[in-house]
Amino acid sequence: MASERDLFSTEIVNRGIESTGPNAGSMTFSVRVRRRLPDFLQSVNLKYVKLGYHYLINHGIYLLTIPLLLVVFSAEVGSLSKEDLWKKLWQDASYDLATVLTSFGVFVFTFSVYFMSRPRPIYLIDYACYRPEDELKVSREQFIEVARKSGKFEEGSLEFQKRILMSSGIGDETYIPKAVISSTENTATMKEGRAEASMVMFGALDELFEKTRIRPKDIGVLVVNCSIFNPTPSLSAMIINHYKMRGNILSYNLGGMGCSAGIIAVDLARDILQSNPNNYAVVVSTEMVGFNWYQGKERSMLIPNCFFRMGCSALLLSNRRRDYSRGKYRLEHIVRTHKGADDRSFRCVYQEEDDQKFKGLKISKDLIEIGGDALKTNITTLGPLVLPFSEQLLFFGTLGWRHLFGSNKKSDGNNLASSKKPYIPDYKLAFEHFCVHAASKPILDELQRNLELSDRNMEASRMTLHRFGNTSSSSIWYELAYLEAKERVKKGDRIWQLAFGSGFKCNSVVWRAMRRATKGSRNNPWLDCINTYPVSLT
């Protein structure tokens, strides 16, 4: 068990100089104590490890049967000399032609059945991330000034939001809707929500269709996810109407699923493509900032105002085998974890009304602890699918030792398991690039510490948070765009996208690069500023 001290972190805030009283002129400060993420790599649940191996065996049974068949065949052929083998084959072909043809037919039939029944590979042809116009940029000071001019917040609420912003990791060039900037009226209206949705979704899709040269009528599957704003007709219907897509398109609209819904949407699109061959699927991930703008006094509901910013991503997926040469990435694995059965997890991010009947998202103080538990479950399940065999052997060996002999006692009274900590897998051996949902600086700090990642591994997440803020489910695509703009993604590289959100859910998707990714000459949201990044966040 970790000590109570290890569960908390401290930070010095509100430095200043005492102006009055007997201590006038002396320095003053406050100490903020916050709960850390649980050290989930040190406490592993065996059932989730077994779940990961279950997935691996179900999808890789041929890895066990093919070597066995090769061993049997080699043993049979190895007993014959080259002359005997040639003579035997010639005689069989000469005198038992029916057997040879039958065997060949069985082989061709078996190979055809296997080839036709195996899951089709899913390719990511390309993607686009929307970058709003410069007139929607807002610095942290301007953000507070906008909130003050709106007349909706008392001074205590403004000061609270300012403290959150200054420690958030968000920079001075993020974007918020014009309605929030210029209006003192209620921005959480259907009209403003539709206007913002049209701006970000159509902007991202226009870029996607331009980059891929695909016509909207060629799209067979459309999946849209937006957690808060769910109008009627749906967002997916807005897209179909705007681009005049075909009448038999399979469209889906995911609502209320939080910041990890982008990966859920990819998972849904994959399943649909598996049952609809030779098709294209478009996945649109976004969130409406203005519609979720909270104007009350509840501090736990003011936090989303500080973090969430405008953004949208649009992906083009294909299951056409001829798109192998066009694809940028191939989908490898998706692992989803849902902790909604637990009441605390279910309510840790909860949309409700405050005492003044203002609608907003309430963030629980237990969010970091609950998120850490979901992350532990997810990465434990993912590990057997992606880690090298050497890492799995060391990890599973030490884990098995603890479970088998954990009840034995040493002569000094200490538990034997406590003297032999579990081996912590090195996930840097499984992935070359990491795209962790840019939620906030404290969460990214704790994730880096727990997963033992380097500053370079976390660079894309931190810089995305600084430049674009928390764009909800689309943030992992702005992070991948950052890596491409830096020209770091090479052919064969593996990318891990990790996102978490309300429910409580934690989801992972793994991609493999099919070619070297370049920043290109346009349509990358980082092109105008990539040379200034990374920036110092101290």
Is residue 433 flagged as an active site residue? yes
433, 450, 506, 507: the catalytic one is 433
23 is catalytic: no
Query: Would you say 140 and 170 are in contact if contact means Cβ atoms under 8 Å apart?
Result: yes
- Please indicate whether residue 470 is annotated as part of the active site: yes
Average pLDDT over residues 112-134: 84
Task: Find the range with the poorest average confidence among 9-13, 85-89, 322-326, 444-448.
Answer: 9-13
Q: Which residues contact 345 (CB under 8 A, 6 or more apart)?
A: 339, 370, 373, 374, 503, 504
- Active-site residue (options: 305, 378, 457, 470): 470
Checking if the pLDDT of 412 tops 50, the result is no
Residue 197: CATH number of its domain: 3.40.47.10
Mean pLDDT across 490-496? 95
Q: Pick the last residue of a domain from 36, 65, 89.
A: 89
Catalytic residue among 226, 259, 306, 348: 259
If 0-12 CB within 10 Å is exposed, 13-18 middle and 19+ buried, where does residue 488 land?
middle
- Sign of the Cα torsion 380, 384, 388, 393 reads positive
Same domain flag for 332 and 466: yes
Is 149 contained in some domain? yes
pLDDT score at 424: 64
Q: Do 339 and 485 reside in the same domain of the chain?
A: yes
**One domain for residues 65 and 128:** no
| pLDDT class of 508 with cuts at 50, 70, 90 | very high
Q: Which domain holds residue 60?
A: 48-89
Do both 195 and 63 map to the same domain?
Answer: no
- The pLDDT-based confidence of 376 (bands split at 50, 70, 90) is confident
288 falls within a domain = yes
Q: Which helix (H) or strand (E) holds 512?
A: strand 505-513
% the chain with pLDDT above 70: 73
Share of the chain above pLDDT 90, in %: 45
33: pLDDT strictly greater than 60: no
Burial readout 130-161 (b: 16 or more C-beta within 10 A, e: otherwise): bbbeeebebebeebbebbeebebbeeebbebb
Phi then psi dihedrals of residue 503, to 5 deg: 135, -50
Q: Has residue 338 got a pLDDT over 60?
A: yes
Give residue-wise pLDDT tens across range 414-428.
443 344 455 567 888
41-50, 157-166, 188-197, 215-224: least confidently modelled range: 41-50
Q: What is the pLDDT of residue 53?
A: 52
Residue 96 included in any domain: no
Tell me, yes or no, whether 416 lies in a domain.
Answer: no
Residue 60 confidence (pLDDT) above 60 = no
pLDDT of residue 490: 95
Nearest by Cα to 496 from 356, 421, 406, 386: 386
Domain for residue 118, yes or no? no
437 in catalytic set? yes
For residue 14, give the H/E element and its range: strand 8-17
- Domain-embedded: residue 110: no
* 80 shares a domain with 131: no
Q: pTM to 2 decimals?
A: 0.80
Least confident of 30-39, 107-116, 407-416, 448-457: 407-416
Q: For the ranges 128-137, 256-265, 408-417, which has the lowest average pLDDT?
A: 408-417
- What span, in angstroms and rounded, lies between the C-alpha atoms of 289 and 470? 10
What average pLDDT score do residues 125-134 get?
Answer: 95
333 in active site: no
Q: Which band of pLDDT confidence, cut at 50, 70 and 90, is reported for residue 292?
A: confident
Instruction: Exactly one of 45, 230, 338, 415 is catalytic; name it.
Output: 338
Q: Are 463 and 508 found together in one domain?
A: yes
Catalytic residue among 225, 305, 348, 437, which? 437
Reduce the secondary structure of 462-477 to three states and give it as a string.
HHHHHHHCECHHHHHH
> What is the average per-residue pLDDT within 379-391?
83
What confidence score (pLDDT) does residue 186 get?
A: 66
Per-residue CA distances from 270 to 216, 265, 457, 496 (Å): 19, 9, 27, 17
282/140 same-domain check: yes
Catalytic residue, chosen from 466, 506, 507, 524, is 466
Domain tally, the chain: 2
Alpha helix positions (H), 352-388: 367-386
Active-site residue, 59 included: no
Q: Tell me whether strands 505-513 and 494-501 are parallel, antiparallel or unpaired.
A: antiparallel
